[in-house]
């Protein structure tokens, strides 16, 4: 589904990714782990088309080259990025925003009356009540509420590939279980592929990866099965 070949990326004159090679098959979950500053979040931003980076190499999604396309194209192609630090957007209420992104990516456009029951079902999966729908997007939300809001967007869009950038950052174990439930729901329902970026193995207890890759200094230095994450948890990353 996703094939990354010799991918490099720099911002200004600083090179961050240094020849990344990575493959994610349809329906599979890959955990990408590494220290702070190893390039994991940069990879997520590059895959979603952040124009701040100068990029070389090749990225294919379902056989089509992604590089050079804008984020809107990538989203409509079925790629979703859950941000590490979701932004607050004043003046845009949650219900209108979610209906807008649904109608922008689905062939059937739903009226507010038809969209509401669909959304209500998905809100139950992330333990959010109706009061959130009239609030501005992420405005005054706690860290856990922002992450659940990211998961609600994912449930609305039902992407082919979800890139989850440090989804567990700042969450307690109960909140991790809630966001993991949303991911596992779509993995089972739609065979969604997942790239989960994390420092720690704790979220991988609830979202079981098929493989684990370690990133260091802008490169993938090791790949293994789920046991690799537990080795990192016990022994750490060691020296670069």
How many angstroms separate the first and last alpha carbons of the chain?
Answer: 30
Closest CA to 47 of 159, 179, 137: 159
pLDDT of amino acid 240: 55
Q: Considering its fold, how many domains does the chain have in total?
A: 1
Residue 62 in domain: yes
The answer to whether residue 96 sits within a structural domain is: yes
CATH number at residue 71: 3.40.50.300
* Domain annotation covers residue 200: yes
Residue 19 maps to a domain: yes
Domain interval for residue 229: 2-235
In order along its 240 residues, the chain shows pLDDT tens digits of: 999 999 999 998 899 999 999 999 999 999 999 998 999 999 999 999 999 999 999 999 999 999 999 999 999 999 999 988 888 898 999 999 999 999 999 988 999 999 999 999 999 999 999 999 999 999 999 999 999 999 999 999 999 999 999 999 889 999 999 999 999 999 999 999 999 999 888 899 999 999 999 999 999 999 999 999 988 888 888 765
| 184 within domain boundaries | yes
Q: Report if residue 134 sits inside a domain.
A: yes
What pLDDT shows up at residue 47?
Answer: 97
> Does residue 125 lie within any of the structural domains?
yes
Q: CB-based contacts of 224: which residues, under 8 Å, 6+ apart?
A: 211, 212
In a domain, 240, yes or no: no
3-state secondary structure the chain: CEEEEEEEEEECCEEEEEEEEEEECCCCEEEEECCCCCCHHHHHHHHHCCCCCEEEEEEEECCEECCCCCHHHHHHHCEEEECCCCCCEEEEEHHHHHHHHHHHHCCCCCCHHHHHHHHHHHHHHCCCCHHHHHCEECCCCCHHHHHHHHHHHHHHHCCCEEEEECCCCCCCHHHHHHHHHHHHHHHHHHCCEEEEEECCCHHHHCCCCCEEEEEECCEEEEEECCHHHHHHHHHCCCCC
């Amino acid at each position: 589904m996703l094939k990354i070949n010799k991918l490099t990326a720099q911002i200004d004159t600083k090179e961050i990714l240094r020849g990344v090679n990575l493959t994610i098959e349809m329906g599979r979950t890959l955990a990408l782990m590494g220290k702070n500053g190893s390039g994991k979040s940069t990879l997520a931003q590059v895959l979603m088309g952040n124009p701040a980076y100068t990029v070389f190499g090749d990225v294919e999604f379902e056989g089509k080259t992604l590089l050079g396309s804008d984020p809107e194209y990538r989203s409509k192609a079925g790629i979703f990025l859950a941000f590490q630090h979701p932004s607050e957007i004043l003046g845009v209420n949650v219900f209108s925003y979610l209906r807008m992104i649904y109608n922008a990516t689905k062939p059937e456009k739903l009226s507010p009356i038809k969209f509401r029951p669909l959304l209500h079902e998905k809100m139950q999966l992330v333990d959010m009540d109706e009061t959130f729908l009239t609030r501005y997007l992420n405005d005054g939300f706690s860290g856990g509420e922002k992450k659940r809001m990211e998961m609600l967007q994912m449930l609305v869009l039902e992407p082919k590939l979800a890139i989850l950038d440090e989804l567990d950052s700042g969450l307690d174990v109960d909140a991790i279980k809630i966001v993991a439930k949303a991911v596992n729901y779509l993995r089972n329902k739609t065979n969604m592929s997942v790239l989960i970026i994390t420092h720690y193995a704790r979220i991988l207890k609830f979202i079981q990866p098929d493989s684990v890759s370690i990133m260091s200094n802008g490169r993938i230095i090791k790949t293994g099965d789920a046991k690799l994450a537990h080795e990192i948890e016990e022994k750490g990353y060691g020296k670069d």
